[in-house]
Amino acid sequence: MSRPPARSRLPKPADRPRRPPPAGATSRIAAADLLILTLEEGRTFDEALARSESFAALTGPDRGFARAMASAALRHLGRIDTALTPLLERPLDTATAGARGLLRVGAAQLFVLGTSDHAAVSETVAAAGHLPGTANATGFLNAVLRRAAEAQDGFDAIPAIATWPAWLQGAFADSLGRAASEAYARAALEIPALDLAGAPDGIAAIAEATGGRRLAPDTVRLDDAGPPENLPFYEEGRWWVQDRAAQVPVHLFGDISGETVIDLCAAPGGKSLQLAARGAKVIAIDRSRARLKRLKANAQRTGLADRIEMVEADAETWRPTGKVSRILLDAPCSALGTLRRHPEGAWIKAADDIARFPEVQSRLLRAAAEMLQPGGELVYCVCSPLRAEGVERVDAMVGEGLFERLPVEAGTLGLPPDWTTPSGDLLTLPDPDQPDGLNDAFHISRLRRM
């Protein structure tokens, strides 16, 4: 999907109102600006946070509140728009981008965050005129938000799966079935916890120092942790941030101490750090210089840099000097398994964007086959629950005679038994009905080179 040049959606200096916005409106202006950068310009939320001038100007609680409003609007976007539709006299997409942004920010306060009706309505209306196209939107925003303040029951009745666009609902239903899709949607509405990974022999100390809960096999989970860099042992490099499910692929290798493992498409490097912390010599391949730079910084912070050789190269064409016995391939994918952490992904991508990944994944699997010696082991994973990116890719490679599948029993790894699929792969679907059952959705396969 092509994107326009990066820019903040703040008015140009000549167009800005002469009077500054009221104090209570500044966080609403920033939140709406973040929504404009994501939903109108196709930026990721992290990019929007980095580019928004109005957000950068905030400090303290105002900054945190702006982020919370924008995050809530993105996480519940489909449900918010569904709830607003009967309150509108004309379709929402006929409003200006600024008016849409402020309306969604106001609705997120009312429906999700529990902000008082008076503050949500008055302060959001007061923000009108401080974003492009909102100078004449005061009456519109006031009328619709006042109606929204009486519509909580209607919002609550909207199913979780309606938070996603129709094409994505269909894609998940085709791959997972309706019930599992609904469960994933309910999980995606929850604010994710912070998962930490570290060397196996130090995980208990990390849990004790941070006050987190130790999850099997080697994860510490914290709720409401705040900035990671403020947590104990950050400067000492004894842990890194990594979702529980993202840690599973490395565990499928078993004991790798002293072995060489190639990590294809390695950056930003959580799995490279895991491999190195377990005693492997890692060759980390990635074509993105910026992402490798991030891996290098984390490797240096954690003291694992001497175990990781970083190579800037295209994994489809790069080859080692000799065939190896172990490869990890975390292939580029739709990332639809990380919507809990990146809810904007449901809205800044389209079906056509998703359709391109399976061919890329197949090419990378064939490249990995060329690097492996006969009997060598490949762990393939994607942070997507779609069959086209997971089980169907593996089935195709097995059908070509490149690999045989090595079935995995999740229970033997201390993982939920229902993560094992009928084909013997792993699918780490979150379960919002289980304690600590929230994690990203990964497809993971263990394969042997024929």
Q: So which residues are the catalytic ones?
A: 383
Give dist(CA 332, CA 318) in Å, integer: 16
Give the Cα separation of 237 and 222 in Å (integer).
17
Residues with Cβ within 8 Å of residue 270, at least 6 apart in sequence = 197, 240, 241, 242, 246, 247
Tokens 């404009």 locate to: 36
Please enumerate in sequence order all residues whose Cβ is within 8 A of that of 61, keeping only pairs 6 or more positions apart, or say none.
Answer: none
DSSP H helical segments within 116-269, as ranges?
117-126, 138-148, 152-156, 166-176, 178-188, 203-210, 248-251
Which residue stretches of 372-402 are H helix? Answer: 391-399
Query: In this structure, are strands 219-222 and 194-197 parallel, antiparallel, or unpaired?
Result: antiparallel
Q: Give CA separation, 334 vs 110, 186, 368, in Å.
A: 32, 20, 20
DSSP structure string for 322-377:
S-EEEEEEE-----GGGTTT-TTHHHH--HHHHHTHHHHHHHHHHHHHHHEEEEEE
